[in-house]
Amino acid sequence: MTQALIESLTATIVDLPTIRPHQLAMHTLQRQTLVIIRLRCSDGIEGIGESTTIGGLAYGNESPESIKQNIDSHFAPMLRGLPASNINAAMHKLDLLAKGNNFAKSGIESALLDAQGKRLGLPVSELLGGRVHDSLEVAWTLASGNTARDIAEAEQMLEARRHRIFKLKIGAKPLAHDLRHVLAIKQELGDRASVRVDVNQYWDESQAIHACQVLGANGIDLIEQPIARTNRAGQVRLNLRSLAPIMADESIESVEDAFSLAADGAASVFALKIAKNGGPRAVLRTAQIAEACGIALYGGTMLEGSIGTLASAHAFITLKHLTWGTELFGPLLLTEEIVTEPPVYRDFQLLVPNTPGLGLSLDEERLAHFARK
């Protein structure tokens, strides 16, 4: 059998509207921008992947435009002609020739896995060693910017049995306002839901010391990235003092970051994101570091569409313990789809397809319609 070679790699920027404005501390999304990766191979198989971030350059150090440019100018020529089935060799080459760029690498690694799964007739989760669950619990983010609206949204989600874990985005408003907002929601939902917060690095340590006590004492289950990723000593102190567990999100921009956070004792939970680690295989290396150190796991999102969401899900479903569940709700935040059969959510869970590859096909017409011209 002749071995399949990589023929081309392309990136398409797609802008999709959101169901409502989604307010994070650093950016309000009115639409989400996905970068769709297509990897074509000489055996006729195409792998698809996604490299998506939040708010242009507001969240990380790659933007949709820089991801596309770097794929077109650098990553595509590096990969052309390589054996499509050797994912180790392809990713080692990219790591050797390109520093950082984990968002771009994540979409590429996802596309390589999708292609290989289609080639072998196996779901990506099986290529990653095999799934140990069939579905994943999925949290929802309440981020309308209004307390009453957030409560109404949470009630709808509980009623529809879609989500029973809620993450509140805070940090940009005055601290007292944010604490009132969170406690009002927790009081309303009580034990019917797990309520968590994500501060996206917006507090300083002095604010965080107080806020983490108040939140922990009032039933908030988890506090995500309260202070800047650069204040490592502060994160260690906070991890010791907070009444609720601290989760690292922005602090992890690579597998190496995960190792040094674990070594310093800077968080008791890690948010796993394929985009920030460099792909579904790379994120499992971070998970293994956490597991070895007794750090709990959470399946995070960069608000990807269906492709990035399932690429994440195929990795997360191979993990024995996801103590804090996942937040793989990205497709549900969008009003439009670019795949033929979107992921299925039922009974608070995302069902992970058992079909070859990621289990998705592009809807060419819709992709062309929403692709940035």
Nearer to ligand MUC, 153 or 357 (CB): 153
Strand-pair category, 344-346 with 349-351: antiparallel
Q: Does 33 bind ligand MUC (CB under 6 A)?
A: no
Q: Does 23 bind ligand MUC (CB under 6 A)?
A: no
User: Exactly one of 62, 221, 249, 257 binds ligand MUC (CB under 6 A); which one?
Assistant: 249
Task: Render 137-185 in DSSP notation, one character per residue.
Answer: EB-EEE-SS-HHHHHHHHHHHHHTTS-SEEEEE-SSS-HHHHHHHHHHH
What's the closest the beta carbon of residue 249 comes to ligand MUC, in angstroms? 5
Do 309 and 328 meet the contact criterion of CB atoms below 8 Å apart? yes
Do 303 and 256 meet the contact criterion of CB atoms below 8 Å apart? no
Nearer to Mg ion, 150 or 198 (CB): 198
Beta bridge partners of 63: none
Pick from 243, 271, 281: nearest CA to 106: 281
User: Exactly one of 150, 198, 221, 253 binds Mg ion (CB under 5 A); which one?
Assistant: 198
What's the closest the beta carbon of residue 313 comes to Mg ion, in angstroms? 18
What's the closest the beta carbon of residue 247 comes to Mg ion, in angstroms? 8
By CB under 6 A, which span of 60-68, 232-240, 295-303, 318-326 interacts with ligand MUC? 295-303
User: Exactly one of 153, 178, 253, 327 binds ligand MUC (CB under 6 A); which one?
Assistant: 327
Dist. CA 159–CA 40, nearest whole Å: 43
Nearer to Mg ion, 54 or 358 (CB): 54
Q: Does 301 bind ligand MUC (CB under 6 A)?
A: yes
DSSP 42: T
Catalytic residue check, 327: yes
| Footprint (CB under 5 A) of Mg ion, residues 245-274 | 249
Which residue in the list 68, 118, 167, 169 is annotated as catalytic?
Answer: 169
Catalytic residue check, 373: no
Dist. CA 7–CA 2, nearest whole Å: 14
Catalytic positions are 169, 327
